[in-house]
Amino acid sequence: MSVALVARSRGVLRYSPWDGVLIALSGLYATLLLWTPSSPLFAIGLWWTANTVAHNFIHTPFFRSRAANRAFACYLSALMGFPQGVWRARHLRHHRESAPGKGAPDRRPTRWTAEIAVESGIVLGMWLTMIAFAPWFFVSVYVPGYLVGLGLCQLQGHFEHAGGTTSHYGWLYNRLFFNDGYHVEHHRHPGAHWTRLPFSADPQAHRSRWPPVLRWLDAISLESLERVALRSPILQRYLIASHERAFRRLLLQVPQARRITIVGGGLFPRTALILRRLLPGATLSIVDAQREHLEIAARFFDGDVELRHQFFDARSEDDADLLIVPLSFIGDRRAVYEHPPARTVLVHDWLWRPHGGSVRISWLLLKRLNLVTR
């Protein structure tokens, strides 16, 4: 499926009036730097500007006028402390090298142009001015923030492609970073305006639940945390107590449930333990694709909970009165919300993702429980 650029807007901006938001935010960042400069502000601002304003400006220059685009590139060079012509050349080389059927890496140095020379002169002049008039500020505030910001940009670029180009569909990140999370889609359609990327979202795309700079957390899997809980009676009591409070509140809104399907949860089956106590007359089934998990779950029950070794496909309907979806669900959680596979579904999700009827499980666990119905 091809994704076209948005229709050209009338007026000063070339592609979309929404680019005015990026321009305004870059101005706000510059104002904050002048008003209350600090190393964290330099670091976070450089990282954010590089991956939003500068990145989108590389692919879809904001202005109709070539002179206005050149002036804005000079402004970004001063704001970021990095010549935008060099930034653009490096980034477009990255796109070429990551394209399907790529050849050998391009090791040629960036070609020196008049545009790069002007932008480099602006950056160098700004640095020399700070060294001359505020040397302590330059060394103790600007340089540390600048280096940390470049490090965050390097971390971002690494994890966007570690193990293959990866997307992140979290709404908060994509609001704050203007759809930068649609990275697989962006590489497939590098000329598409950032407002169009969500329309090309690929259900089969390699994805992560974490934004790029936090993607190292993928190494800390939910399964490994569950195994820790298996070895700690204290953790087990805490997990059961915090989850039971949430279930008690939402079950008041659930029609009488006689048949309950629990997806996953075989490692430490707290949901089944809780519902066996809260709904003693209900028939409980645990569905898990890992036979080992079911063997562990069997130790907690006396045959009164059905254990089914199968992969749960959210696209198929379940005849249970109540379906429980875990935080570690492998599949399209958004599809579960939009098309519940059972009459009533309780979905474990991250704390910042309320949906439908929702209660917090625990601030410490960063979890909540959402209620959706057909």
Question: 250-274, pLDDT tens digit by residue?
Answer: 998 887 888 999 998 667 889 999 9
Task: Pinpoint the alpha helices (H) of 222-373.
Answer: 222-230, 233-251, 270-278, 291-298, 333-338
- Residue 115's pLDDT band, with cuts at 50, 70 and 90, is very high
Main-chain phi, psi angles of 182, to 5 degrees? -80, 65
**218 has a pLDDT exceeding 50:** yes
Residue 5, domain member (yes or no): no
- Looking at 215, 236, 268, the residue that finishes a domain is 215
Determine the Cα–Cα distance for residues 211 and 251; give it in Å rounded to an integer.
33
Q: How many CB atoms lie within 10 A of CB 60?
A: 19
What pLDDT is recorded for position 20?
Answer: 96
- The answer, yes or no, to whether residue 38 has pLDDT greater than 80, is yes
pLDDT at 112 over 80: yes
Domain end residue (candidates: 215, 232, 254): 215
Q: What is the DSSP string of 82-143?
A: S-HHHHHHHHHHHHHHHSTT--S---PPPPP-HHHHHHHHHHHHHHHHHHHH-HHHIIIIIH
Task: Tell me the one-letter amino acid at 123.
Answer: V
- CATH number, domain with residue 268: 3.40.50.150
Q: Is 361 left (phi over 0), alpha (psi -120 to 50) or beta?
A: alpha
Specify whether 79 is located in the same domain as 161.
yes
Whether 339 contacts 345, CB under 8 Å: no
Please compute the mean of the pLDDT values over residues 69-87 and round it to a whole number: 96
Q: Write the pLDDT tens digit of every residue in 321-344.
A: 999 999 888 777 888 898 899 999
26 and 102 both lie in a single domain: yes
In this predicted structure, the answer to whether residue 3 has a pLDDT above a threshold of 50 is: no
CA–CA separation, 54 and 70 (whole Å): 13
Q: Is residue 9 part of a domain?
A: no
In single-letter form, the type of residue at position 190 comes to P
Per-residue model confidence (pLDDT) at position 245: 94
Same domain, 269 and 366: yes
Asked if 81 and 32 sit in the same domain, the reply is: yes
- Residue 207 sits at φ, ψ, to 5 deg, of -135, 165
Taking CA atoms, 173 is separated from 10, 147, 158, 303, in Å, by 29, 23, 17, 44
Those residues whose C-beta lies under 8 Å from the C-beta of residue 65, and which sit 6 or more positions away, are 12
pLDDT category at 1 given cuts 50, 70, 90 is very low
Q: What is the pLDDT of residue 202?
A: 79
Angle, vertex CA 331, rays to CA 249 and CA 333, nearest 5: 40
Same domain, residue pair 236 and 210: no
289 vs 193: which has the higher pLDDT: 193
pTM (2 d.p.): 0.64
pLDDT of residue 135: 96
Does 10 reside within a domain?
no
**pLDDT tier, 2 (very low <50, low <70, confident <90, very high otherwise):** very low
Same domain, 230 and 211: no
pLDDT at 9 > cutoff 60: no
Whether 243 contacts 361, CB under 8 Å = yes
Q: Is residue 132 part of a domain?
A: yes
Answer yes or no: is 6 within a domain: no
pLDDT above 90 for 346: yes
**Predicted local confidence at residue 335, as pLDDT:** 85
Expressed in angstroms, the distance from the first to the final Cα of the chain is 31
Q: Could you tell me if 80 and 49 are in contact, meaning their C-beta atoms sit under 8 angstroms apart?
A: yes
CA 363 to chain centroid, in Å, comes to 20
pLDDT category, 105, cuts 50, 70, 90?
A: low
pLDDT in tens, 135-189: 999 999 999 999 999 999 999 999 999 878 999 998 899 999 999 999 999 999 9
235 has pLDDT over 70: yes
Nearest Cα neighbor of 374 from 341, 329, 334 is 341
Q: Are residues 103 and 234 in the same domain?
A: no
Average pLDDT over residues 4-23: 78
Q: Are 199 and 237 in the same domain? A: no
Mark whether 187 and 293 lie in a shared domain: no
- CA torsion, ordered 138, 141, 144, 145, to nearest 10 deg: -110
From residue 272, alpha-carbon distances to 230, 243, 285, 314 in Å are 15, 11, 8, 20
Q: Which residues span the domain enclosing 357?
A: 224-373
Between 78 and 331, name the one with better pLDDT.
78
Number of structural domains in the chain = 2
Map residue 360 onto helix, strand or coil: strand
Task: Please check whether residue 130 lies inside any domain of the structure.
Answer: yes
Most confident of 59-73, 187-201, 222-236, 255-269: 59-73
Are residues 130 and 277 both part of a single domain?
no
Mean pLDDT across the chain? 88
Residues 192 and 276 in one domain: no
Residue 98 within any structural domain of the chain: yes
Q: Are residues 228 and 211 in the same domain?
A: no
User: What whole-number distance in Å separates Cα of residue 103 and Cα of residue 58?
Assistant: 23
Does the pLDDT of residue 197 top 90, yes or no?
A: yes
Mean pLDDT throughout 298-315? Answer: 86
Domain boundary among 215, 248, 283: 215
SS3 289: coil
Residue percentage of the chain with pLDDT more than 90: 58
pLDDT of amino acid 101: 59
The answer to whether residue 11 sits within a structural domain is: no
Task: Flag whether pLDDT at 312 surpasses 50.
Answer: yes
